[in-house]
Amino acid sequence: MSIDGWILLVVVAFLLGYIVGHRHGKVEGFRDGAVFAPIEMRRASLERGRCTICGTGTKKTRDLDDESRSDATAPGRRSPPERE
């Protein structure tokens, strides 16, 4: 086999390996994305305080602090036990 035959064989092997690897990488990347996407959407929703799908939001932390203060000082309610 001449040098031209070896070069052709190496180029064909390289291209075949590239095509197989590229296809395998796409399939694996799609699987990883399908697993990771719900987790990432949840993280983004929690950071923003709003659902990325439906747009409903949670109360702001300032509103929650005001409610907890008013509950603790409301008449007829006991204060929470103190921790040591």
Question: From residue 43, how far is each of 34, 47, 52 by CA, in Å?
Answer: 15, 6, 10
Tokens at 46, concatenated: 């929690």
pTM: 0.44
Rounded Cα–Cα distance for residues 42 and 39 (Å): 5
| Sequence ranges of the domains in the chain | 3-70
Does residue 76 or residue 49 have the better pLDDT?
49
Does residue 24 or residue 59 have the better pLDDT?
24
Residue at token pair 């990432």: 40
Rounded Cα–Cα distance for residues 33 and 29 (Å): 6
Rounded Cα–Cα distance for residues 59 and 53 (Å): 17
pLDDT of residue 75: 55
User: Is residue 14 scored above 60 in pLDDT?
Assistant: yes
